[in-house]
Amino acid sequence: MQAVQLEIAQQLKVQAPFPDHAALEAEVARRVRFIQDCLVNSGLKSLVLGISGGVDSLTAGLLAQRAMRELRERSGDPHYRFIAVRLPYETQFDEHDAQASVDFINPDERHTVNIGPAVKALAHEVAAFEGQHAVSRDFVLGNTKARMRMVAQYTIAGATQGLVIGTDHAAEAVMGFFTKFGDGACDLAPLSGLVKNQVRAIARHFGAPESLVEKIPTADLEDLSPGKPDEASHGVTYAEIDAFLHGQSVREEAFKIICDTYRKTHHKRVMPFAP
């Protein structure tokens, strides 16, 4: 089992557990530099990130805001800025958490784009939905919401000469728990390789409220299952996924679920197939 876990962890470039607080601080500094280098090398001036209210976007936002602040101080260029974007589908059930995340990050700019009208207009024009079961239609539109959010972020990035930040990390990557060309699309992914408890640890390092750090993760894409926990979709807990990725022992059933899901979602982690 451990050989399989090690192989998958290597493929996902999983970050080893932080042995102490100094190692965590060093990793934060490394990822902040990574963000800065990506932006400077691009010749652009802004970073754009959708803030959902979950710990992933909170942590990515905190890293981005620190990166921008340090870039301005170091370069003397006031045009470097981080733009946090709220992308609700009409009224988000946990909007208070999303607003609390934005407030704690305290970004240089705040934008809001309600994707509801665009998603509904597209759904109205899709003849393929005719006769489909409500659950199937709801699932497909959930992915459409994720893609529409990314369209909005890239539109803002284009208007502000910026790059789009993604929130994918190893615990989601191994489960393929992202929408292809939706939240899986971005210019840079500063949380890549981290497991869930490391994402939470970085948020705590920034002093984020525990209510946001330990909030139950949810993609919240399906109207028929609002706020459905990620773990309910996975069939395993994030603690088990983290343990798997760090080569620790897990239940046989959890091992099988993670390995099977990893294989089935391979297509989401690679470039488009070509002859």
Q: CATH number, domain at 108? A: 3.40.50.620
Q: Assess if residue 274 is contained within a domain.
A: no
pLDDT of residue 226: 85
Q: Assess if residue 275 is contained within a domain.
A: no
Domain range for 225: 2-269
| Closest residue by Cα to residue 179 from 187, 168, 191 | 168
Catalytic site positions? 56, 172
Structural domain total, the chain: 1
- pLDDT, tens digit, 9 for 90 and up, residues 188-200: 999 999 999 999 9
| Whole-prediction pTM | 0.95
Residues sharing a CB contact under 8 Å with residue 53, sequence separation 6 or more, in sequence order:
92, 94, 95, 97, 98, 99, 100, 101, 212, 215
* Residue 176 amino acid letter: G
pLDDT of residue 13: 98
pLDDT of residue 70: 98
Which parts of the chain register pLDDT below 50? Answer: none
Residues 193, 199: Cα–Cα separation, whole Å: 10
